[in-house]
Amino acid sequence: MSKQKEHPYVELARATIREYTLTGRHKGGPESRSSIFNQQAGVFVSIKKGGKLRGCIGTIRPTRENLAAEISHNAISAASQDPRFEPIELDELPELEISVDVLGPAEVIQGSEELDPLKYGVIVEKGAQRGLLLPNLEGIDTAEKQVAIAREKAGIFPGEEVKLYRFQVDRFK
């Protein structure tokens, strides 16, 4: 059974995870040759195994010189530094499902009524505390649930005043 062709962003994430798992390093370089990698944006790399989350790390805003560097950095982090999981092992590589979310700009909103969890991700912020939840996640079907989970991730208690932002993503698998 042949695997469906992956988007170049996902191919880069997969190759980076493989190289890092094999060698403990990432040399970078040739993947940035395509113009699709030349923009800057925040990026999340999500890794699943058997349909269950195995790692997810990202950046809200760009922190690297281009998408190739952003994807590579976040792929390594998702595979090896997500505190919820042990680092990815070499024998897991063939079983991994990888997606790359490229974030659009965040916009301030007044309340959860301006959210649609299928269309928008949410950022909840109180001072230096910040939680983010990507859009269109399994089991997240209301804006209230989306905001509650983002609050929990940030360590912000229910009822505390927060600033809300919404954003859209382009998801690549």
The two structure tokens encoding residue 80: 């090896």
pLDDT in tens, 16-54: 999 999 999 887 655 556 788 999 999 999 999 999 999
* Alpha helix stretches (DSSP H) within the chain: 8-23, 67-80, 143-154
The two structure tokens encoding residue 65: 């010189």
Instruction: Kindly indicate the confidence band of residue 3, based on its pLDDT and cuts at 50, 70 and 90.
Output: low
Question: Which domains are seen in the chain, by residue range?
Answer: 8-103 (3.30.700.20), 107-172 (3.30.1490.150)
pLDDT at 29: 56
pLDDT at 4: 74
Distance CA 111, CA 11 (A): 37
Identity of residue 133:
L
| pTM listed for this prediction | 0.92
The two structure tokens encoding residue 11: 């191919």
pLDDT in tens, 66-85: 999 999 999 999 999 999 99
Q: What is the dihedral of CA 32, 66, 153, 151, to 10 degrees?
A: -140
Identity of residue 23:
T
